[in-house]
Structures are given as structure tokens and as C-alpha cells.
Amino acid sequence: MRSIFAIILSVFTTTVSASPFPSTYQPLPSSPTLITNATILTGDGRRLDEADMYISDGKVIWVGEGAVPTEGVTTIDASGKWLTPGIIDVHSHLGVYPSPGVSAHSDGNEATAPVTAEVWAEHSVWPQDPGFSRAMAGGITTLQILPGSANLFGGRSVTLKNIPQNTYQGMKFPGAPYGLKMACGENPKRVYGGRNQAPSTRMGNVAAYRASWIRAQRYIRDWQQYEQKMAKQTSGAETDSNSALAAALIKPPKRDLELETLAGVLKGEILVHMHCYRADEMMTILDMADEFGYQLGTFHHGVEAYKIADELAKNNVCGALWADWWGFKMEAYDGIQENIAIVDRPENSCAIVHSDSEEGIQRLNQEAAKAMSKGQAAGLDIPPERAIRWITSNAAKSLGIAEQTGTLAPGKMADVVIWNQNPFSVYAKAEQVFIDGAMVFDRNDQTLQPVSDFELGQLLEAAP
Amino acid sequence: MKRQFFTLLLTLACPIAFAQDLLITGANLHTQSAAGIIENTDILIKDGHIERIAPRIPTNKMIRVIDAGGRPVTPALFAGVTVSGLSEVDAVSEAVDSSYRELYTELMHPEFDVRMVYNPHSSVIPITRIEGFGFTLLAARGGDKTLSGQGGLVRFDGGYSSFEGKPVIYIQTSGRSAGSVGGSRVAHWMLLNQVFDEAMTDEELTLITPQGATALKTATDEGIFLFNADRAADIMRVLAFAEERELSAVIHGGSEAWMVAESLAAANVAVILNPLKNLPENFESLGARLDNAAILHKANVRVIFSSGETHNARKVRQLAGNAAANGLPHSAALAAISSTPAAVFGGEPRSLSQGARADLVIWSGDPLEVTTQAEHVILSGVPDTMVSRQTLLRDRYLDEATDMPRAYTKP
């Protein structure tokens, strides 16, 4: 029975939900499925020829050889076809910069202050963005939606399962950690410098990051002190009315959404996704992470990452990169097409092909193919079973979901793509896409091709 | 006046070094002509032009021989509508010459000709060229008027004035661009009608300078008008305007062109499009679809591909591959990035036949495949060094680090 003192205590204590806006994702209906005779790229560097795979209850049961129940199994003959893990894009703005890209839909950058760690991308996601279904047709099963790069701290990202739902909660990847979008270089200094406001320089950028981390350290300390005091007082609260009243009178620090997110990074709960182009700036950021004791997760765009490939691997940092985009701004001037292949070269590397584009996300396999072939032409040995990691397992590692998806290991989510041919080709098409074992897309079956509310009934007179 | 200027440049700065004779053996030649694909043929190149195409051509010590080994040979490709040599870095405004803003005249300036300042030494050009590209259509971009200015074809051979073909005038008709002219696309047509009336008659000039009126008249007689239009209704408006004003029009954008394919075919108007567009990016492209090019081709509309990107113009080959993967015949996809743009804009033919300029590429495989590399790029019969700023950066960082900083590695 709860004592009166405990009730007093609960009235005065701040309640904080550990996970507001929780995932309501449920796998779609599936049946046990045996896929036979495929060329399988497992996502962990292996290639199996004319191999089988069995999925059931939404999970990978086995790849290669194993038992199959005698009844109730759907068999798909994938002779001549290729099978890969579901494709993961670690850098997307679908939903926050949706199609149509009218100004009323421009929800990706809270570009009103350089530090907006308090905003969450999920609160901007429009689930009816037709881009989600287009990405699905390209084999995308998981994607991270990031805020834009106008701000030093852009806000929290969200990782979604790519199924068509009316709410982002219904797409939210269960158990995926949050990310924090940060940005280096030209964008923040251009946006705010242009308003004659800090930061207007790269040194201004770094000063503002550091000032924020210092505030976050203080915030963590304030909460720790509060919790220590509370623990001390409440240990006697059940029996001692004075202790209970004293505990009830300890005021908690004021909750601060911005600092909660930053503190989450410093505590290792939130992964940092840092938009950064130049090699020298990336090294500054790594030093800053050391200064404040956090692990940097992934550099995004990193067109100069090839200049510091060894340092990235040594620091256990991923590089999420483009195959060939360059030159659109000064910090993108040194881009080369071998960037991904060179970043992939060191031991313990984590090279990723990302899109940052509603077009590129539809053909991440082609982007990986370009990067692979440029690496091969430069003399690096990169077979498809290695390159597929750039858009599967390495991407899963970047998002903190490698235990659940990204390879075809037994027990993982059955996120799978069947391609009509070698996916490293301009002619390759995702024929069937499975998410948690459910077939969510079939190129040859219109009933398994979702259409968003926005697209329904458009151009009726022009229908072919 | 302007033509004299270009002629002067041409005589002062002939870019082409005298070429050694060149023999390409064992080519799988995509001629882009009625001859189609000629398998396992030799190509003799003399004085920058194709001298002979035949199965076995005798050689001698004076001739450089490149063995294609059965690999595909195509014309050097079209990089799309770009601002190559006009923009070093798009976001560095002081390094961009492709558009003007807030010009004090407040008039339309069709005489704004970007070819005047084309810089063949831009690092963008070798970076694009070594991927198999030989020419582009220079664009006058955006600006703040319905008429953006003019450009034309240019070859990527390093010449200061390697221009070809007809003057191309850029016109905005979309709602997106209407913001600076009152916010309605009606304003575009209202102003266009007025400016054409002024240029073609003795009316007082209020929207245009006398030079601009001359440029507009010249373009009407011998140039091409490139209309930015995506929406089917806007495309129909362009066709009506072009017919009324007796203009040669080309559609640029054309996301919904497939909806009016028959009208485009009847008017013989070509479409420059991006075959990767399949999203309703705005209310002008609700009908965007991946088989746009295939539908247009089937209806006998000439299609040309462009991504609109300059620095990554090399992606145009991927565009063509995706069009082929979505129903466009392979040869038509190749034509859309070689012979068709040359023909539509009045350039030299890009068909590889006897007498043609020897602008060609030897590929490692299918020229539309993303994993294929351009192995040799030959412009006017001269094999390219295949070196760009990017290959040098690659080579500087590809080798393992040494005791000395990378700045001492000069590949």
C-alpha cells in the first residue's frame, strides 16, 4: 500500500515520458516464404550463387540451406534474379521536403536560429509524400529523415520503416535510436551571416557548437545533482515524513528540450549525423567530439572524406557520401568519384552511399554501382558483395539498427529485395520488396503498388 | 555585329592542334545514322575527320592505332543544357556568368548572350569531357525576366569559340518563374506578346532595347526558342504561340509532354526532358512519369535528355540508361544524347559516317550502363589525355601516405 508520503511525492515530481510520440509500427501481414535459386548478396560481404532463403514470422530464418515446413509456405522461384537486404538510405528529406515542393510543404529547416536541437523531424513528416512509394519501388525498406543543414544543430532525425501509413508513428522503426542533425561549413554561416548574425564564419560555427555542448554538460550535471538529492531524501520517505516532505520540496531543474537532445548525445543515447564537406573541418569536429566526450556517428556528404579515410576508420566514424555530386558550392569543389571506394578501403571502415534526394533514393543501387565501378577502374578490388554493404549493413550501423536489419542473418528482420538482375546496373529493377517478411511491393502486381492520398485522382482526364 | 565578333574569335584562336592520323580497329560502331550499328569495323581518322569506315583498313607507322577490341564506339555525347564554362561554382556568385539580376535597365534582354564569356579552361570541362561528352547547349539561366537571354551549342574541345548551330533564346513560361513578373504565368504571355510586337513592328520600344529587338528578330528568322514548360496546358500555349509567331520552338522541362505527344509531333516540336522525373514536384508536373520519353518517341516526338546540372552533367548518360530501362529503344536513348540535340539546334551532325568530324568515344561496355567507363575520348581526331582535376586529386590520394605531405605528390 502506498503511503501518503509517496503520494505527495508523486504529485510534486516532474514526470517525463522516456519515449513520447512512440512507434505504433506493426509489420504488415506476411506468410512464410521460400525464395529459391537466387544470387544472394547477404549484406555482410558474402555472395551465394543459386541459393535459397527462407523467411517466416517476419524474420530471416536461414540463408543457404535449412529446413522448411511441408505446408503453408509460399515459394518464389528467383532463378536468374538477385536478392539483397532491403536498401537503407541514411539521408533523406522525404516527408519534410515532400512532393509537391510548394512553400506550404517546406518543413525541413527551422532556419530561425542556428541552434534548434529542440525540433524533431518527425513532427514535420508528411506521410502522404509520394516520394515514399517511389523509394519503395527502388528497394528502400528503411530510411532516416533528417532536418536540413541551415542550422549548426538542426534537430532530431527519425528512422522510418518504408511502409505507407497515415502517421509517422506508424512508420517509426521500433527501437531505433534518435539521431541529431548537425551541420558544418557554408550553410549555417551563409544563412545566419547573411542576416548579419552569428555564425558568419567557420570559427563562429565551432564557437557556437562548443558553447552549446558546455550548456548541455551543465544540464546533465544539474539533473544528476537533483537525482542524487532525491535519492538521498526518498530512501527514507516511506517511513519518515520529514524526509518525504523535504524530497517533495526539492525543485527539479527546468526541462529544456534543446538540452535534452544535446544531453542525449553526450550520454551516448542519440547518434550524431554531421553534415560536413571538407577534410579539415571533419578533423576539427572529431577533436571537438573528444573535447566533450561523445562518439561521432556519421559524417554526411563528406566530399573530401577520401583525404582522411584512415582517420575516419580509426575513429569508428561512418562516411555517408554521394557517388558523383560535386562543385555546386565551394566546399564541394574537391569531390571525386572514387570518394566512396577510397573511404571503404581501410580496415574497420564504414562507407555509405546516401541520396539526400527524392530522385537518388529511388536508385541508390545505381549510385552504389557508379561508386563501385569507379573504384574498380582505380584498381581497388570491390566486388558487388562488398559494395552492397554501402547501402545495407553499413547504413544500418550508422543508424544504430544493425542488430535488427541490414544483413540477411538469421533472426533479423526479413527486409529483402528481389532484383530482376544484378542490382549494380542501370537496367536493374526491384521486382519485389519485403519489409518484416511482408511483401509490400510487387512490380508485376498493381494491387501491391501503394498510391498516396495526394496522388489519388489527379489528372483524371489524362489517364493513359 | 555579334557575328563579326565570333568570326574574329574563330580566326584568332583555332583550338585544334594538327592531329596525327588515327586508326581505330575492331569497333562496334554505333553510327547514329541509317547504317545503324556496324560490328567489328575499323575507322580511319584524318585531319580530324572520319576518312573511312571499313572492316580492315591497312595501317602504317605514321598512323596511331587504338584497338577497340569489339567494344562500343559512339559519337561524343551531349552533356545536356548546362552552364559549363559559365559557372565555376554555382553557389559562388562571383564565379557565375549565366544569369543577371536587377539589371538597371529593367528591360528584357534577349541579346544577353552567354557565349560572349564562355571560358573553355573551366575545370568542369575536362571533368565532363573524360566521361565521354563532346558538346553541350549553353544556357542563359533564370534571371528575373521572362526572356533569360541566349546561348547555343559548344564543343568541349578547349577552343575559345567552338560554337555550333543556331542562337537559342531561353524563355520562361512556368508559374514557378512567374514570381518576379507579377506572380501569374499570364504575365509571361502578356509580356511576350508585347515584346514580340515591339521587335517585329515599328512600335515604340518599351520592354526591350534596339539591340534586343534585333536579336529577337534574328532568332525568329534563324534561331530556336527554348520554352521552359512542364505542364501540359503550358506546352499547348507554347505551341499556339510558336505557330502564331512562326517560331522554331523546343520544350525544356516537359514533365507532362507525354499528355500532348500528338500535338508536339504535329507541330514538329522537340522536347528536352529529364527521364528520371517521376514525382509531382509541383502542380506543374503532376503527370511526371518514367516512360515520358518512351511515349513521346513512340508518337514521333524527338526527345533530348538533360539533367540541368553542370558540374555533374556526366550523369546524363545515366538518364539515358534509365529511359532505356523504361521503354525507350536503346538507339533512341543514345540519339537523345548525341545526334538529336545536334540536329535540333543546327549543329554538325553527330552521325559517325565518312566525312563527319571525328568526335567519338570508345567505351568499356554498353554506353548507357552506369558501370561502363569512357576509355578513350577523341575530339576532332585527337585522343584526350583523360586527365582532369578530379583524376589528379584521385591519384594524389589513392596511394598510401608517405613521410611528406600530399602536396608533394604531383601526379
Could B397 and A326 be called an inter-chain contact, meaning their C-beta atoms sit closer than 8 Å?
A: no
> How far apart are alpha carbons B231 and B217 in whole angstroms?
28
Mean pLDDT confidence for B374-388: 97
B307 and B350 Cβ atoms separated by less than 8 Å: no
Predicted local distance difference test score (pLDDT) of residue A236:
66
In angstroms, the CA A204 to CA A184 distance is: 11
Q: Which H or E run contains A60? A: strand A59-64
DSSP string of B378-393, one letter each residue: EETTEEP----HHHHH
- The closest CB to that of A100, out of B276, B280, B373, belongs to B280
Whether A45 maps to a domain, the answer reads no
Residue B84: burial class (beta carbons within 10 Å; 0-12, 13-18, 19+): buried
Q: pLDDT tens for residues B308-325?
A: 999 999 999 999 999 999
Peptide bond between residue A199 and the one before it cis (omega within 30 degrees of 0): yes
| Contact predicate A462/B232, CB 8 Å | yes
Print burial letters for A381-396: b (CB count within 10 Å at least 16), e (below 16): ebebbbbbbbbbbbbb
Confidence at residue A2, expressed as pLDDT on a 0 to 100 scale: 46
Count of the separate structural domains present in chain A: 1
Tens digits of residue pLDDT in B16-43: 455 689 999 999 999 999 999 999 999 9
Q: What is the mean pLDDT of residues B174-191?
A: 87
Which of helix, strand or coil describes residue B136? strand
Write out the three cell numbers for B253.
522541362
Residue A191 in domain? yes
Residue A331, domain CATH: 3.20.20.140
Mean local confidence (pLDDT), B113-135: 98
The torsion region of residue B138 among left (phi > 0), alpha (psi -120 to 50) and beta comes to beta
**Structural domain harbouring A357:** 86-204+258-406
| CATH code for the domain defined by B77-349 | 3.20.20.140
Q: Is the peptide bond before A177 cis (omega within 30 degrees of 0)?
A: no
With contacts defined as CB-CB under 8 Å, which chain A residues touch B371?
369-370, 372-373, 424-425
Distance CA A134, CA A112 (A): 31
Cell numbers placing A383 = 566486388
The predicted structure's pLDDT at residue A9: 47
- CA angle, residues A39, A41, A45, in degrees to nearest 5: 140
Q: Which residues in chain A touch residue B368, judged by CB atoms under 8 angstroms apart?
A: 426
Residues A141, A146, A149, A155, Cα dihedral to 10°: -170
pLDDT value at residue A168: 98
| Residue matched to cell numbers 598512323 | B63
User: Residue B12 — very low, low, confident or very high, per pLDDT cuts 50/70/90?
Assistant: very low
pLDDT < 50 positions in chain A: 1-2, 7-14
Distance, CA of B31 to CA of B360 (rounded, Å)? 10
* Residue A136 within a domain: yes
| pTM, two decimal places | 0.95
Q: How many CB atoms lie within 10 A of CB A197?
A: 12
- Inter-chain CB proximity A462 and B371 less than 8 Å: no
Determine the Cα–Cα distance for residues B23 and B39; give it in Å rounded to an integer: 16
Per-residue pLDDT for B149 more than 80? Answer: yes
Task: Please give the residue of chain A at the shortest CA–CA distance from B399.
Answer: A342
Q: Is residue A340 part of a domain?
A: yes
- The domain spans of chain B are 12-76+352-411, 77-349
- Burial code (b: 16+ CB inside 10 Å, e: under 16) for A400-436 equals bbbebbbbbbeebbbbbbbbbebbbbbbbbbbbbbbb
Give how far B61 is from chain A: nearest CA, Å.
31
pLDDT for B408 beyond 60 = yes
What ipTM was estimated for this complex?
Answer: 0.94
CB contact under 8 A, B314 and A362: no
pLDDT of residue A11: 45
The pLDDT value given to residue A245: 79
Please enumerate in sequence order all residues whose Cβ is within 8 A of that of B150, keeping only pairs 6 or more positions apart, or say none.
B110, B111, B112, B113, B114, B115, B140, B167, B168, B169, B170, B215, B219, B223
Partner A contacted by B373 (CB < 8 A): yes
Chain B nearest CA to A49, separation (Å) = 21
pLDDT of residue A235: 76
pLDDT above 90 for B181: no
Nearest-Cα distance to chain A for B232, in Å, is: 10
Residue in the block written with cell 509580356:
B191
Q: Quick one: pLDDT at residue B1?
A: 44
As a whole number of angstroms, the distance between CA B254 and CA B232 comes to: 8
User: CA A233 to CA A228: how far, in whole Å?
Assistant: 9
pLDDT higher than 90, residue B176 = no
pLDDT digits (tens, 9 = 90+) for B48-89: 999 999 999 999 999 999 999 999 999 999 999 999 999 999
Residue A368: its chain B contacts at CB < 8 A? Answer: none
Architecture of the domain delimited by B12-76+352-411: Roll (2.30)
